[in-house]
Structure 1
Amino acid sequence: MAMASPALAQDAGQEAQLDEVVVTGSRIPQANLVTTSPVTQVTGEDIDVAGVTRVEDLVSQLPQAFAAQNSTVSNGATGTATVSLRNLGASRTLVLIDGRRMGYGSPTAVAADLNQIPEQLVERVEVLTGGASAVYGSDAIAGVVNFIMKKDFEGIQIDSQYGFYQHTNDYDGVGNLRAEIARRAALNPSEYALPEDDVMDGESRSFNIVMGVGSGDGKGHLTAYAGYRSNNPILQRDRDYSACAIGNPAGSAPNTYTCGGSPTSAGGYFRDDGVNNNGNAGPDNEDGTDDDVPDTNPLPSFDFTRGAGGSFVDFDPDLNFFNFAPLNYYQRPDERYTFGAMGDYQVNDKVEAFAQLMFSDYRSIAQIAPSGVFGQVNTINCDNPLLSAAQAAAIGCGALAQQAFEEGFIDDPNIVPFTIGRRNVEGGPRQSDLRYTSYRGTVGLRGEIMTGWNYDVAAQFSRVTTTQISRNDFSVTRLKRALDVISVGGVATCRSAATVAQGGTGLDPACVPYNIFTPGGVTQAALDYMQVPLILTGETTQQIVTAAVTGDTGFSLPTTSRTLQVAFGAEYRRDFLSLEPDTNFSTNDGAGLGGPTIAVAGDTDVAEVFAEFQLPLADDQSWAYSASIDGAYRRSEYAKFGADTWKVGADYAPVEDIRFRASYSRAVRAPDVLELFTAQGPALFGMDFDPCSLPGREEPVPAACIGTNPWQVSLGQSQSGNLDNSAGQYNFLAGGNPDLNPEEADTVTLGAVWTPSFLPRFNLSIDYFSVKIDGAIQTIGAQNTLDLCYNANDAAACSRIKRNASTGSLWGPNGGLIEDLNINIGGFETSGVDFNANYGVDLEDWGVNGAGSLRFSFVGTLLNELITDTGAGQANSVYDCTGFYGNQCGTPNPEWRHRARLTWSTPWNIDVSGTWRHFSEVEFAVLKADGSLNNGVRGDGSDRLDRYFDAKNYLDLAATWQVRDTVTLRAGVNNVLDSDPPLTPSAGNAGNGNTFPQVYDAMGRFVFFGVTANF
């Protein structure tokens, strides 16, 4: 059960017995596991000990890897599972199966989907960090994750596992959150409640069967597998630290988190917005506009919610904010079926045929709070029969509306400003039904050309089809019609359903009025009319043909008996992607959408040639126990550009016990189909507050905010409170760019491997890494754009900010947006040091007879820098996120991460393992004009409650029992101490449930039981 062991040199006795193998990062078979680039390895046993049914959960616990999309993402979930090495992005991490690349996992998020990989068929996982483009092609800038499958299994193996989360709700971290939830529950018990003290949920089940058989003559082998997996959901309401969306404390309770929420509430949030609704120049509270017109709008200014007895009452955030957290999924439910087969057959001495076929069908549901009216309706007709007389009078209908019409404030005395925010609590939460069906097949021939020379020719095809259905959302078109109501014969009737003779338009006879002004007024018929499914379909296809030759040249230097090894070949790859949204998606007709989803289709293809060599320099010399150099080169020809990638490396062992290694590589990543061809359209990004909003600000509003330019607001707009979105979501314009160039990266590794002869079964590797990416395909970032404009007066950045002319806002369907399209920006840079250590000892060697043995393994990473350069050329255009989280830095980037495992193999066929996972402290990132980040303080100079996430430690325990030669039982508990996650109001779209569950254990302790039987 070795965990995260490095690929290391073996001792001389072992080396002589090893067959030639291919390790990740090279096509040249080697007689030992020595590489010039560091490779970290985890084994299939680790999957059993960790109790994971999702392989991304295992890989992302390595210090080099960060989760991207996974099961804890609900708002914005693609349904895929991806991994990001060095936190440089999933698209910069190449995922392989048996050394051959996986295709795009989704037409909405271009990265390999780890859901396609059957966990019980994984023999080991090799992680090579640093550039590997010269060997594998584009996308390997951050490194490679290579899943090696079991191929020579014979017999039948059945594996089953059951697991669940258990959590005790006794959160006692910063913020006194339980007290705040209890206070809000007393005011609004229908939406706020503390969960039960002890909860058990998130049950997981998996069942896998593997069958293998060899031919009688030993020439062939076939392995087949089938598997089923399901995971139950976890709701945020069932954890006390996620039962409400927290906000930063203020006022009389500076040490207590507030329960935030959304003004789009169950009772409704009705406001006038304080603006002219006809868009004409004139009455705008500015003197001298029109001498004949009063400067003050006679219509009332209001912020109402629905009251008792057909009335409106003032909206009270404490009482009326909608708690959107409880119905959000903390863990998405999923169900997956996998099956496949792989085999090989020795046709003759020169030809071996091989094939690998894989299939998976995966479905998951992403759930967030109900949809509703999010400001899409901005006026109401005064003769609307759904309004009571008191309600109509409260919003200015009657004499005030007539006066406003006569003075030019409105165009129709019967239509007054009335912006609606109202949650569709009757229709239930929004759900995205995500389904992926994946096919992957490889066929090929390999064999010997002549002694010492071998060939490998293969063709590979992979295809993913997807259907995404969004349910319980409103059609904006139908919503507006259902609120535009008149009386026909005393019956409330949609204007669009009434005939022209009745005063209507007759355009939509099916329309049903939506009565949100009377308790219980919303009918099922109205919901059936307004709620529409939104359907998105798509596919990705990858086709690859590869031919490679590896061989022994027979050439050797006088100082070594080993000979020059080479590999060379050619490869052709085509990636195709298509995305087909229905009309509701493409026209942004879903009320809860962040923007329209536009159809996209396109492909990229590349023809490549590659070569590789490994030249031994010395063996058993007085100046070197061993030494060698290696190199690789690849030329890639795309439609619009060509790219050269290369690598050189060296290893040197002055004595048998220690080996030094180094490599330098030039890597590239070509723009993918989405980056090139995605149509431009609105999307959402997370931000604490609008920098130009005055209320609640901890610092003065920047002077550049106030003015009449499109990126500026008036003083009144700044003070109105309408610039901030309580949900922390703002608009930006996203889209592709067909003129993108490839990214380039320089990667350096320097390391040492120590295997002391005086301490058998111990090894230690220490490796320095540095990755520098230039011309990164990225956006400058919407928040970076705001900072550049308002803090640095950058004219180019300001020109990309388009605020709503009337309100100044950057959120909501009528808000402005920030242009943030794909470009080749400055780049990224990261560096640090990886540590790997393993040790095994028989306790008899320590004088303890009959007590079994101990095995220890350790992997850790010290992060030195994680730099972003937006390319804007300002002082704060370059910032280092090492040790920071939030805002520009996203998920936490601790300076130190490690995993350590101790396993005791007892004399009673039981192995007991304990694993210690550690994350060092991180600090909340606030980017300043000078590029510094450590400014997480409140207006009074005190620290924000979430300024620091303390160092986090987790303890996992597991045991396996070899009951019989053919039966093994296993059980374990992860996060034994049920440690609560650190909390922040600023998790935004990068996190979920007030924290970052991709990094920290947010669900509690996980308990699992499993059995493996072999026949």
Structure 2
Amino acid sequence: MLSTPMMSIAQESEQEEVMEEIQVTGSLIRRENLVSTSPVTQVDAQQFKFQGITRVEDLLNDQPAIYPGQTSGQANGATGTATVDLRNLGTERTLVLVNNRRLPAGSPVADGIGADINQIPGALIERVDILTGGASSTYGSDAVAGVVNFIMKTDFEGIQVDVQASGYQHDNDNGMVQSLLEESNFDYPSGSINDGDSYDISLVGGMNFDNGRGNITTYYTYRDIEAVRQDDRDFSTCALGGVEGNYSCGGSATTDRGTFGNLNDVDLMVEGNQFVNRNGYLFNFAPDNFFQRPDERTTAGLFANYEINDKVKAYTEIMYMSNESNAQIAPSGAFFITDTFYCGNPFMSDQQYNALCGALEYGRDEYSDDGDILIGRRNVEGGARNNDLEHESLRTLFGFKGNINESWSYDIFAQYSEVEFYEAYNNDLSKIRVNRALDARLDENNNVVCASTLGPNPEDPDCVAWNIFEAGAVTQDMLEYLYLDLEAEGNTELSVFGATFSGDLGEYGMTLPQANNGVAVAFGLEYREESLDYNAGPGYESGDGAGQGGPRPSVEGEYDVTDVYFQALIPIMEGQPFAEELTLDIGYRFSDYSTSITTDTYKVAFGWAPNSDVKIRGSYNRAVRHANIRELFRPQAISLYDMDADPCGGPTPQRTLEECRRTGVTSAQYGAIANNPAEQYNDISGGEPDLKPETSDAYSFGIVYTPSQLPGLDLTLDYFEIEVTDAIDALTPQFILEQCLSSGAPEYCSLVNRDPGNGSLWTGTGSVTAVDQNIGMFRTEGIDVAINFDLELGDLGALRFTNTSTYIMDWERQEVSERPVIDCNGKWGESCEDPVIDFQNNFRVTWLTPMNLSINTQWRHMSEVEDVLDRADFDAQNYLDLSGIWSINDMVSIRAGINNITDREPPIGPSPGAGIFGNGNTFPGTYDALGRYWFLGATFNF
């Protein structure tokens, strides 16, 4: 799809008079008026102004071809980065470029491997090219779904200062959710609220020097975004449970009043200094979670070029970013992590002993057996867990380009990029210390102390006994002992050296008989080295963090690749009847990796213009993605996955004894395996050094229509199909467990490891092994449509109509080759994860008035989405945006606008949304989650 950038019609006419060689995204060859044979969408800088966007990812996520990756709307699992996901095929399959050169991996942490577009200064963006479909033959690995190429302003003259303030306004009037909150006795917000303020300032300066032979453009930007919590919106103040029409406010069994017992016939909580029946009481974990993370970012850098002589032009790009964000979630606690419990704990009253240990027939001086007494207690006294995430990046590029002679040119460059990462996770508890603090005794002075402090050689003399048996009895000393320091650091590095030579073979007679232009070629060599070093720190590596779900291993690895590539643009016919232009575009790249893997990628494309009004284009791309460093070298370790209940757990298991035996359950264990009240179970995840590359086949076929009878109209329609095979992914633990239960197949059952003592999958050694492997397939097919129409209004100025839409015909995935293909089109949940919206449409109307005022309105539409689990179908969403830009004079312009004028709430469903990016009962990266977005800004040019 080819969209024309937003600008005045007069400006476009002036630009048409300038004929220069250009390089389009997806091609290595520069030519006058070169139109891509592959579908490319363009988002220009004016759209950022009209939308009032301060986060680049927010505008990109509104584009129909792009799905959200990491966004500011994530808290649990946030990396502090912003990533892009083309066609919903994963951020690791989308290659991000700046001026046709790579951005480095955004972070060394899990889910941070995609390029972090926080590194992009919005003030310097000239346009964004979005090429969908494989582009590995042009740019190398990772371009399986396509390319997002940021084209920056590199020849700026003057000084420009831009300031903007923005924020959200929402009316909390969701009666349905408010009634649920009242039933649960939860506080909730009501009425109008203004929050999430953002402040953005940028300074750009540029100048030509040495009689125009050189230019230097510098920039500095600063952005500060305030937090929004989930209890700032009524619809996210509690975690929804149940199904649509019968929702309830859910929560966690790890409560502020404690949860004690075997959770079947003995299920207690604290009231005063006594135990009472819990009766289903849950802790509302939603309010503390960030719905919008606070964020502070600074960027600075320069773009410079200098023409040394008529053969050599030097250029450089230096980009720096410092970004700090905070991801906050509910308080930590003892998440049923006690192995056994000492029934002589002196903090327990006689009533509590009788209700708990006495009921389970344990004496005062006895320890319970493993799993007989479970304890969950939320650390409400210590406050929410929050994760400080800091990234600092530096990207440098130096190169020389020029003409060797009239036929040949060259471009040689060296690039080095580094991202430094630091993380401090606050207010989590130590599992070891929780167990020691709950193992309490009376010392010789009748003081309550930890058993680990007693004896001639105390195991832990600093231990402070934790009194969770009496309301209000937790002290600061107790908390200080329980806290665990969690820190991590790391970096990613990218080094690239490349040389491209391009030439016009027409000078040597290589012009086909019915063509005017000769064959154009480009070939070159590229060496790329990538490394990642993530030091998880002793707290993370030990797995001692109560709220971390298991150990987080350190990762270190690197690989390099040498590429040889070639492209040819072959004019077959030009200026002939029914063939104003017929061009063949072919490309090939051979890659040799240090992992002993070699790959071949290639493309074949054509462009046919029967006349000046119509162009037909089509392409086939074979793309290959080599495994990234985390996929190759991440150690295998225990982590957590969500599951409502163990199919073989509880007093009345969901599965039969015969089925459960396949997973390792004994007859004695059947019916006696405790379910995890936190609904979290152990899995072993990690990388695999022997992963082979995944491949994709991408097809596109389209038409570009610019009728001479109707000047100002551009219409493009493109069909696309992308199929990824041998996809690098991990089977979900639930899938493995279900397959073992149903089939007994050894390839699945060998991955289920029940604790031999109690049959559990969440205590002891119980787990399901689910590491990365080459499995299954992704496939998507659809149609992109773009319509641009300019209408002159005489003395009233001009109107511009722009419509961009994507219709998904199929979006399928197959977890393993022998399993059925899953249809995810128009669905969300379970294996489909986040919403796969089958129709998205953006319609924009801009009035360019004769008073130097541009008024813009946009309608954004997203079709309905069905829940795979039949809990909550999401209705179609329609958003209306309105904005204006007034150029007061050549020096000053102001802008203002409101997005989502009607304050439409996002669709909501059961928490956490069953998707990797769900938050606040919705998907904030997909939908407008926070209400009306207002902005007011000004630009000053000197």
Normalised by the length of structure 2, the TM-score is: 0.95
Q: Equivalent residue of 2:347, what SS?
A: coil
Where in structure 2 are the equivalents of 1:112-123 lying within 5 Å? 112-123=115-126
Seen in structure 2, the aligned counterparts of structure 1 residues 729 and 979 have a Cα distance that, compared at 3 Å, is: farther
Is residue 655 from structure 1 mapped to residue 649 from structure 2 by the alignment? no
Q: Which residue of 1 aligns with 2:937?
A: 1010
Where in structure 2 are the equivalents of 1:525-924 lying within 5 Å? 525-554=477-506, 555-639=510-594, 640-692=596-648, 701-703=654-656, 706-712=659-665, 722-723=674-675, 725=677, 728-805=679-756, 808-811=759-762, 814=764, 816-844=766-794, 850-874=795-819, 876=820, 878-924=821-867
Give unpaired runs (5+ residues) of structure 1: 186-191, 275-300, 845-849, 927-935, 937-943
Deviation at 1:705, TM superposition (A): 7.3
Deviation at 1:883, TM superposition (A): 0.8
Q: Which residue of 2 aligns with 1:286?
A: none
Deviation at 1:401, TM superposition (A): 2.4
Deviation string, structure 1 residues 541-584 (Cα, Å, up to 9, x no partner): 00000011111112212212111111011000000001111111
Deviation string, structure 1 residues 593-614 (Cα, Å, up to 9, x no partner): 1121111111010011111110
Q: How many angstroms apart in 1 are the aligned matches of 2:455 and 2:136?
A: 67
Q: Equivalent residue of 1:786, what SS?
A: helix
Structure 1 contact 350–447 (Cα < 8 Å) conserved: yes
Where in structure 2 are the equivalents of 1:371-390 lying within 5 Å? 371-390=332-351
Q: Which residue of 2 aligns with 1:950?
A: 875
Seen in structure 2, the aligned counterparts of structure 1 residues 717 and 905 have a Cα distance that, compared at 3 Å, is: farther
Seen in structure 2, the aligned counterparts of structure 1 residues 608 and 203 have a Cα distance that, compared at 3 Å, is: same
Q: Equivalent residue of 2:661, what SS?
A: coil
Q: Which amino acid aligns with 1:36?
A: T
Seen in structure 2, the aligned counterparts of structure 1 residues 538 and 808 have a Cα distance that, compared at 3 Å, is: same
Structure 1 contact 224–342 (Cα < 8 Å) conserved: yes
Q: How many angstroms apart in 1 are the aligned matches of 2:585 and 2:614?
A: 19
Deviation at 1:155, TM superposition (A): 0.5
Q: Which residue of 2 aligns with 1:177?
A: 177
Seen in structure 2, the aligned counterparts of structure 1 residues 809 and 258 have a Cα distance that, compared at 3 Å, is: farther
Deviation string, structure 1 residues 630-660 (Cα, Å, up to 9, x no partner): 1111000012110011111101111111110
Structure 2 contact 169–931 (Cα < 8 Å) conserved: yes
Seen in structure 2, the aligned counterparts of structure 1 residues 11 and 430 have a Cα distance that, compared at 3 Å, is: closer
Q: Equivalent residue of 2:660, what SS?
A: coil
Structure 1 contact 6–38 (Cα < 8 Å) conserved: no
Structure 2 contact 3–786 (Cα < 8 Å) conserved: no
Deviation string, structure 1 residues 713-739 (Cα, Å, up to 9, x no partner): 87986698x43655x544321101000
Deviation at 1:788, TM superposition (A): 2.5
Structure 2 contact 648–660 (Cα < 8 Å) conserved: no
Deviation at 1:476, TM superposition (A): 1.4
Where in structure 2 are the equivalents of 1:3-18 lying within 5 Å? 17-18=18-19
Is residue 510 from structure 1 mapped to residue 462 from structure 2 by the alignment? yes
Q: Which amino acid aligns with 2:663?
A: P
Range moving further from structure 2, 678-687 or 351-360? 678-687
Q: Equivalent residue of 1:400, what SS?
A: coil
Structure 1 contact 705–711 (Cα < 8 Å) conserved: no
Structure 1 contact 717–723 (Cα < 8 Å) conserved: no
Q: Equivalent residue of 1:139, what SS?
A: coil
Seen in structure 2, the aligned counterparts of structure 1 residues 357 and 303 have a Cα distance that, compared at 3 Å, is: same
Q: Equivalent residue of 2:490, what SS?
A: strand
Seen in structure 2, the aligned counterparts of structure 1 residues 156 and 516 have a Cα distance that, compared at 3 Å, is: same
Deviation string, structure 1 residues 730-760 (Cα, Å, up to 9, x no partner): 4321101000111111111100000011111
Deviation string, structure 1 residues 668-690 (Cα, Å, up to 9, x no partner): 00011100000001223344554
Q: Which residue of 2 aligns with 1:315?
A: 278
Where in structure 2 are the equivalents of 1:423-462 lying within 5 Å? 423-462=378-417
Q: Which amino acid aligns with 2:750?
A: S
Q: Equivalent residue of 1:77, what SS?
A: coil
Q: How many angstroms apart in 2 are the aligned matches of 1:259 and 1:814?
A: 31
Q: Which residue of 1 aligns with 2:260?
A: 270
Is residue 145 from structure 1 mapped to residue 70 from structure 2 by the alignment? no
Q: How many angstroms apart in 2 are the aligned matches of 1:437 and 1:413?
A: 50
Q: How many angstroms apart in 1 are the aligned matches of 2:207 and 2:442?
A: 77
Q: Which amino acid aligns with 2:289?
A: N
Q: Equivalent residue of 1:305, what SS?
A: strand
Q: How many angstroms apart in 1 are the aligned matches of 2:528 and 2:142?
A: 13
Structure 2 contact 357–363 (Cα < 8 Å) conserved: no
Deviation at 1:193, TM superposition (A): 1.1
Range moving further from structure 2, 780-789 or 10-19? 10-19
Q: Equivalent residue of 2:58, what SS?
A: helix
Structure 2 contact 253–677 (Cα < 8 Å) conserved: no
Aligned length: 929
Q: Which residue of 2 aligns with 1:280?
A: none
Q: Which residue of 2 aligns with 1:992?
A: 919
Where in structure 2 are the equivalents of 1:82-161 lying within 5 Å? 82-108=83-109, 109-161=112-164
Q: How many angstroms apart in 2 are the aligned matches of 1:57 and 1:413?
A: 53
Range moving further from structure 2, 960-969 or 11-20? 11-20
Q: Which residue of 1 aligns with 2:228?
A: 234
Deviation string, structure 1 residues 338-365 (Cα, Å, up to 9, x no partner): 1001101111111111111000000000
Q: Equivalent residue of 2:246, what SS?
A: coil
Normalised by the length of structure 1, the TM-score is: 0.88
Structure 2 contact 669–758 (Cα < 8 Å) conserved: no
Deviation string, structure 1 residues 260-310 (Cα, Å, up to 9, x no partner): 000100010011357xxxxxxxxxxxxxxxxxxxxxxxxxx41110122x2
Match of 2:196 among 199, 202, 206: 202
Q: Which residue of 1 aligns with 2:26?
A: 25
Q: Which amino acid aligns with 1:773?
A: V
Q: Equivalent residue of 1:682, what SS?
A: strand
Q: How many angstroms apart in 1 are the aligned matches of 2:895 and 2:447?
A: 68
Q: Equivalent residue of 2:21, what SS?
A: coil
CA RMSD of aligned residues (A): 2.4
Deviation string, structure 1 residues 121-156 (Cα, Å, up to 9, x no partner): 111000000010000000000000000000111000
Q: Which residue of 1 aligns with 2:327?
A: 366
Deviation at 1:3, TM superposition (A): 7.0
Is residue 77 from structure 1 mapped to residue 78 from structure 2 by the alignment? yes
Is residue 327 from structure 1 mapped to residue 288 from structure 2 by the alignment? yes
Q: How many angstroms apart in 1 are the aligned matches of 2:119 and 2:290?
A: 22
Q: How many angstroms apart in 1 are the aligned matches of 2:267 and 2:592?
A: 61
Match of 2:214 among 214, 220, 227: 220
Q: Which residue of 2 aligns with 1:279?
A: none
Q: How many angstroms apart in 2 are the aligned matches of 1:920 and 1:774?
A: 28
Deviation at 1:468, TM superposition (A): 0.8
Deviation at 1:17, TM superposition (A): 3.8
Seen in structure 2, the aligned counterparts of structure 1 residues 136 and 398 have a Cα distance that, compared at 3 Å, is: closer
Q: How many angstroms apart in 1 are the aligned matches of 2:922 and 2:664?
A: 32
Deviation string, structure 1 residues 69-103 (Cα, Å, up to 9, x no partner): 11111101111110110000000000000000111
Q: How many angstroms apart in 1 are the aligned matches of 2:159 and 2:13?
A: 36
Structure 1 contact 122–148 (Cα < 8 Å) conserved: yes
Seen in structure 2, the aligned counterparts of structure 1 residues 661 and 12 have a Cα distance that, compared at 3 Å, is: farther
Seen in structure 2, the aligned counterparts of structure 1 residues 556 and 6 have a Cα distance that, compared at 3 Å, is: farther
Deviation at 1:380, TM superposition (A): 2.3
Q: How many angstroms apart in 1 are the aligned matches of 2:131 and 2:671?
A: 50
Seen in structure 2, the aligned counterparts of structure 1 residues 793 and 1001 have a Cα distance that, compared at 3 Å, is: farther
Where in structure 2 are the equivalents of 1:248-327 lying within 5 Å? 248-249=242-243, 255-272=245-262, 301-308=265-272, 310-317=273-280, 320-327=281-288
Q: How many angstroms apart in 2 are the aligned matches of 1:688 and 1:990?
A: 19
